[in-house]
Each structure stands twice: as C-alpha cells, then as structure tokens.
Amino acid sequence: MIQVEHLTKQYANRVAIQDLSFEVAKGEVLGFLGPNGAGKTTTMRILTGFMPATSGTARVAGFDVWESPQEVKKRIGYL
C-alpha cells in the first residue's frame, strides 16, 4: 500500500531525510519514532503530497505522491 524507495529531502545545507526506504502492507500499522529533527514530519509531508522530495520515490496504493497527489489524498488521512 505504501512504498518508499531511496527518499531524500535536503534543505540548502541540511539533509532532513537520506536514502529512506520502507514498505507498509495493507492493514499494517506503522509509527514514526525519533528525536526532534529526525525527519518524521518531513517524511509525512512528502507521503501526503504537501512537499516534494529532493530525490527518490513514494507511492500510496500505486500512485506516485507527487505526480498524483489527489489520488493519494483520497486514500489516506493525516492528523
């Protein structure tokens, strides 16, 4: 259902996410844990289509989060 491959997000001199890859199957539950600045919110913003990644791909239900953000938003909820 969610596929992330080699996701990277860089802000000027700062790397927020570097080469992140994971998969979440339908029905599986996932939590992001980590200290401030670990990239949790940045990862979720990319997955929900609110922010582009610097490189890598993210798909939800087979839809690329940046190429088809409306299709992704129909299938996920985020608080």
Q: How far apart are alpha carbons 32 and 47 in whole angstroms?
A: 13
Average pLDDT, the chain: 93
Q: Which fold has domain 2-75?
A: Rossmann fold (3.40.50)
**pLDDT at residue number 3:** 97
Structural tokens at position 42? 């940045």
Q: For the chain, how many residues are written?
A: 79
**pLDDT at residue number 34:** 94
**pLDDT at residue number 72:** 92
HSE at residue 39, side-chain half, CA atoms within 13 A, is 16
Q: Given pLDDT bands bounded at 50, 70 and 90, which one contains residue 22?
A: very high
| Extents of the domains making up the chain | 2-75
For residues 47-60, average pLDDT: 94
- Higher-confidence residue of 8 and 50: namely 8
